[in-house]
Structures are given as C-alpha cells and as structure tokens.
C-alpha cells in the first residue's frame, strides 16, 4: 500500500502509542476489508486505520470506525502525518499536555509540531473541527475536521455538504451511518445501501456482471456474516488478478475469525 515504515511499525506495535487504551497489533472485533487497522480500542470497540477502496476511483484515507455504532466510519486524516497529529491531540487531551511518552512517540514517527499542537489543544481540546487551524491540516483537510465555513472539502469521502457530487456511486454504507446525505429526487441509491437486501446474492450478481467495483462496495457494506464475506473476498480475488490485492486478501483472511459473527 506504499505506506511509510513508521506507520507499519505503529501497526505492529514496534512504536508505542501514547494512549493506553489503544492496542497494536489491533484486536479483531469484526470489520470490512476496506479497513486495515493500525490501532484498536476494545472498550468501544473502535478502530483507527487505513481505509482503501479497491476497484473504485477513490483517495485512500485514515478513519475511525465505531464497531458497535453500526460500523459508523469517519475520515480523520488524509496523510500519515495528520494521523500522527490526531494521536498527539488525543494524548494531550487525555493527559493535559505533552508527556514523555508523547515526546517519544513524536520522535519515533517524525512529528515535529508538538508545540503548535499543544497550543492549539489549549483552545480547542481534541475537537476535530479545531485541527484545521494547525498547519498540517490546512491543506488536504480531512472531512471530520472541515470547519463550518464556505471552504470546500477536496477529498473523496461522502460529504453531506456537497449536493452536486454523485457520492453514492463510489461509497459504502459504513461511510454514511448517521449522516443526512443529499441525493437528487430522481436518484435511487445502489442496492448495497439497502439494509434489507441480501448482500451475498447481490455480490454474486455483480461478480457475474464483471462489476468488481460494485461487488467491492457491496462487500464493504453492512449485512455480511464473516463466513460469507470470507468466501466472497476470495471470489473477488480470483477475478481481480492483482498481486497487491492478493496481499490485502491474505491479511484480512488471517484475522477474520468467524466467531465475530458479522458486520
């Protein structure tokens, strides 16, 4: 996925995160394969990780997913540096400032703006809307940090404030949980957004039609047992013939324990 070594070290637990509730390697609480977890918090449970849609023209990003809140997923960062800054802001909010553990984390990942973030945290705490004031977030601002202003969001996550973009063509159900998303009156949402639609049957229809993009978005929408999702992603892998995707499939299958039930 061309991610920096520092991020991989965080995901493996080699770089210690300065927040005691976050664990790495991440635990398995059930998540779709679009998510590659970096940290998990078992008390939610929640995930913080890399979000990539395959076979779809979308910019990858970093998200927080709330497993027990119907898999609600927010874009919290668009670059690794922003993600490290989010972790720093969370740490400063929890510990009322910069701790030795945070300093060690910042040194390990190359985050050199702790003083700026600390000053900002005194004004806005860990409110994501406040992050846009930091230099790291002034360009490529993630959706969860977009200020309430006329500044347009430039990313690819489904944006409730943009009524002109056809977000439904390249998004999945977890990205719009608890969001009032605009759609023209003439538009009928794709079937993968329908909570009553059998996802396995729909997935098979898209595979038969050669629509790997729609099959992928169906696989990453709510309504799957882990057992069915495991079989489906292997079908998609056979059709894709993509060595990079093969590695994603192998990694997800290695953790996707059917005891989690489904997503």
Q: Express each pLDDT in 14-50 by its tens digit.
A: 999 999 999 999 999 999 999 999 999 999 999 999 9
Say yes or no: 17 and 140 in one domain.
yes
- pLDDT tens by residue, 181-227: 989 999 999 999 999 999 999 999 999 999 999 999 999 999 999 99
- pLDDT tens by residue, 59-84: 999 999 999 999 999 999 999 999 99
Say yes or no: 133 and 33 in one domain.
yes
71 part of a folded domain: yes
Among 122, 130, 89, 131, CA closest to 106: 89
Say yes or no: 192 and 139 in one domain.
no
> In percent, how much of the chain has pLDDT > 70?
99
Q: Which of 145, 169, 203 is the last residue of a domain?
A: 145
> What mean pLDDT comes out for the span 145-158?
88
Q: What is the pLDDT of residue 73?
A: 98
Mean pLDDT score of the chain: 95
Rounded to 5 degrees, what are φ and ψ at 47?
-125, 150
Say yes or no: 189 and 137 in one domain.
no
115 part of a folded domain: yes
* 259 or 215, which is more confident: 215
**Banded model confidence at residue 254, pLDDT cuts 50, 70, 90:** very high
Q: What is the pLDDT of residue 23?
A: 97
Query: DSSP states of the chain as a string?
Result: ----HHHHHHHHTSS--S-TT-BSSPP-S---TTEEEEEEETTTTEEEEEE--TTS----EEEEEETTTTTEEEEEESSHHHHHHHHHHHHHHHHTS--HHHHHHHHHHT---HHHHHHHHHHHTT-GGGGGGSGGGSSS--GGG--SSSPPP-SSS--TT-TTS-GGGS--GGGGTT------TT----GGG-TTS-HHHHHHHHHHTT-HHHHHHHHTSS--BHHHHHHHHHHHHHHH--HHHHHHHHHHHHH--GGG-B-
Say yes or no: 129 and 12 in one domain.
yes
Predicted structure pTM score: 0.96
Cα–Cα distance for residue pair 137/127, rounded to 1 Å? 13
Say yes or no: 31 and 117 in one domain.
yes
92 part of a folded domain: yes
Say yes or no: 112 and 239 in one domain.
no
73 part of a folded domain: yes
208 part of a folded domain: yes
> What mean pLDDT comes out for the span 116-137?
93
Q: What is the pLDDT of residue 149?
A: 67
Q: What is the pLDDT of residue 66?
A: 98
Please give the structure tokens belonging to residue 98: 């910069």
* Residue pair 85/115 in contact by the 8 Å Cβ criterion: no
Q: Which domain holds residue 61?
A: 5-145
28 part of a folded domain: yes
């Amino acid at each position: 996925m061309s991610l920096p070594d520092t991020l991989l070290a965080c995901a493996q637990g080699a770089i210690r995160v300065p927040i005691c509730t976050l664990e790495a390697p991440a635990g398995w609480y059930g998540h779709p394969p679009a998510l590659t977890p970096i940290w998990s918090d078992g008390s939610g449970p929640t995930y913080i990780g890399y979000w990539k849609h395959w076979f779809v023209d979308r910019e990858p990003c970093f998200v927080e997913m709330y497993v027990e809140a119907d898999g609600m997923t927010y874009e919290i960062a668009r670059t690794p540096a922003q993600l490290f800054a989010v972790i720093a802001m969370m740490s400063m909010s929890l510990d009322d400032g910069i701790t030795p553990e945070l300093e060690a984390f910042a040194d390990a990942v190359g985050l050199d703006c702790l003083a700026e973030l600390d000053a900002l945290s005194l004004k806005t705490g860990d409110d994501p809307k406040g992050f846009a004031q930091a230099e790291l977030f002034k360009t490529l601002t993630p959706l969860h940090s977009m200020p309430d202003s006329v500044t347009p969001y430039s990313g690819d996550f489904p944006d409730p404030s943009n009524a002109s973009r056809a977000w439904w063509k390249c998004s999945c159900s977890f990205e719009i949980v608890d969001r009032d998303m605009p759609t023209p009156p003439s538009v009928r949402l794709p079937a993968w957004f329908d909570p009553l639609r059998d996802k396995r049957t729909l997935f098979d229809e898209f595979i038969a039609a050669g629509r790997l993009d729609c099959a992928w978005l169906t696989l990453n929408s709510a309504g799957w047992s882990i057992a069915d999702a495991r079989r489906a992603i292997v079908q998609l892998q056979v059709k894709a013939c993509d060595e990079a995707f093969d590695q994603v499939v192998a990694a997800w299958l290695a953790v996707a324990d059917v005891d989690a039930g489904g997503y």
